[in-house]
Amino acid sequence: MATLSENSIEPEVFLSTFLLQKKTANSWRISTASDRISRLKSIREWIKEHQKDIQEVLLADFQKPPIETDLSEIYTVTSEINHAIKNLKTWMKPKSVSTPLPLLGTSGKIYYEPKGCALIIAPWNYPFNLAIGPLVSALAAGCTAIIKPSELTPNTSSLIEKMISELFDPSEVAVFQGESEVAQELLKLPFDHIFFTGSPAVGKIIMKAAAENLTSVTLELGGKSPVIIDQDANLKDAAEKLVFGKFINCGQTCVAPDYLLVHEESKEKLLMELKVALKNMYDPKFKGIDKSPDLARIINDRHFERLVSSLKEGIQKGAIIEFGGKYDAPSRYIEPTLVSSLSDDMVLMEEEIFGPILPIKTFSKLDEAISYINGKPKPLALYYFGSNTTNSARVIQETSSGNAMINDCVIHFLDLEMPFGGVNNSGIGKAHGHYGFLAFSNEKGVLKQRVGLNNATLLRPPYGAAAQKIVQSLIKWF
Ligand code: NAD
């Protein structure tokens, strides 16, 4: 099994594994749907047999509640596998396309060839899902893969390595654990595709490195995903959905609502509903939210300090804590916290929060909310709560985001029929289901011509009056 422990970077192991995988990738060009399906099934079986182990490593890494692991680490991967198994034959089938007039007599098809050897770099926040989900797409497309899991979730990353070593030869799929230096070394190799999930700042580093080899990239990044709560929104319904979407994984979710823009007349009622929902979900027996087994913890001390200091900075500049605000460094607990009276020079409004703090701003006209969002980098997701369909249509049309939801948040991640991803600062390229398959495939257009006389022959030199006439009529009519 190809593996590296921390601080022992051995670029030659990377290179030799990469070269072996390039060989395999060439032989996998002719892999059938059933070859690929059997690889996917082996992962599904392993996951089923090791459900408890997966729950345990995530609990150890950041006290992730087992049921959240089942939903957001296991189900997300097994549903991706099941979806791919069900659709793979259709996805792989060459697609016939129509023929333009000058090429009459030819036949065109799009073939979906595997790109080859892929590099998958995963983050810590959904460490199993975001390493193995892209692997499912890579294997479905017929690619080999090297995975670099996050160094911040050592227990999960070791389990990923164990799983891969039990199921695959390193010449097919390999895992290299370690710090960011491991990723930097791997990035020097001319992979056929890089699938990166992480922050926009590191996304830029990945794209620069990929440019050296002109490697295609999928960048699944983050950013501040806004929520608009319009005047006519059902506030109880919105509050319950927002509390779930914001505080699952303790707010450490790429598509978590980052801040709320609520109509000024609804603010007080919304705050009340958010508090009720928070109590109902995380403190139903009045023992204190810190006793809830359903709230994960902050991943490490650095992120804990970052969150607490951004809260303190906000308060110093006039922010008001409407709910929560307690924290405990030894257990890296931060109480779900609602904050109002925000200004744009606060870190809370400048940077992706990625934790259980929810800023709430107000607006008086929808245009204000739209232009506020449009004044910031394009988000990964945008959520609109309200029943006025003209307003929701305006928000969808007048803003740009990777994905959007109307009257809910976060759960669009589970819809494998939809492309998932960002736009510009929040990402490049799409993932999930067919879109994941396409990310790892080269869509190769193949045009078959007949032998001898054909339409194109008429367009050859010496250009006479007939050719002139044909070209002019093509311009005029087609
Ligand atoms: P990160 O960018 O710090 O790290 C992600 C991976 O990149 C890790 O494996 C890390 O080792 C590696 N890395 C870090 N620095 C590197 C460097 N200089 N060169 C090469 N590799 C490097 O991200 P994170 O903190 O693990 O995750 C949080 C971020 O990820 C948030 O911004 C979040 O929104 C985003 N995210 C996006 C999605 C999505 O699907 N769009 C999903 C989850 C998380």
CB-based burial label for 446 (10 Å; 0-12, 13-18, 19+)? exposed
CA distance linking residue 216 with residue 370, whole number of Å: 33
Mean pLDDT value across residues 252-278: 98
Query: β-strands 173-175, 193-197: how paired?
Result: unpaired
The alpha carbons of the chain give a radius of gyration, in whole angstroms, of 25
Which own/partner pairs from 84-87 qualify as long-range (CB within 8 Å, at least 24 positions apart)? 84/37, 84/40, 84/136, 84/137, 84/140, 84/433, 84/436, 84/437, 85/37, 85/40, 85/41, 87/433, 87/434
pLDDT tens-digit profile of 148-179? 999 999 999 999 999 999 999 999 999 999 99
- pLDDT of residue 477 exceeding 90, the answer is no
Q: Give the pLDDT band of residue 1 (cuts 50, 70, 90).
A: very low
Q: Give the pLDDT band of residue 8 (cuts 50, 70, 90).
A: low
Domain at 226-416: CATH architecture? 3-Layer(aba) Sandwich (3.40)
pLDDT tens-digit profile of 386-403? 999 999 999 999 999 999
First to last CA, the chain: 58
Q: Mean pLDDT in the chain?
A: 96
Pocket of ligand 1 (CB under 6 A): 121-126, 130, 148, 150-151, 180, 183-184, 197-199, 202, 205, 220-222, 254, 352, 354, 380, 422, 427
pLDDT tens-digit profile of 362-378? 999 999 999 999 999 99
Predicted local distance difference test score (pLDDT) of residue 478: 80
Catalytic residue among 68, 73, 220, 322: 220
- pLDDT of residue 218 exceeding 50, the answer is yes
Pick the CATH number of 6-221+429-442 from 3.40.50.300, 3.40.1190.20, 3.40.50.2300, 3.40.605.10: 3.40.605.10
pLDDT tens-digit profile of 268-289? 999 999 999 999 999 999 999 9
Predicted model pTM: 0.95
Domain ranges of the chain: 6-221+429-442, 226-416
Supply φ then ψ for residue 406, to 5 degrees.
Answer: -110, 125
| Catalytic residue check, 254 | yes
Sheet of 107-114, strands arranged across = 95-97, 107-114, 441-448
Find out whether the peptide bond into 462 is cis, omega within 30 degrees of 0: yes
Rounded alpha-carbon distances, angstroms, from residue 69 to 125, 363, 392: 11, 36, 33
CA distance linking residue 113 with residue 266, whole number of Å: 53
From 197, 252, 255, 378, give the residue whose CB has the most ligand 1 atoms within 8 Å, as the site to mutate: 197
SS3 state at 385: strand
pLDDT tens-digit profile of 101-123? 888 889 999 999 999 999 999 99
| Catalytic residue check, 351 | no
Catalytic residue among 117, 254, 273, 335: 254
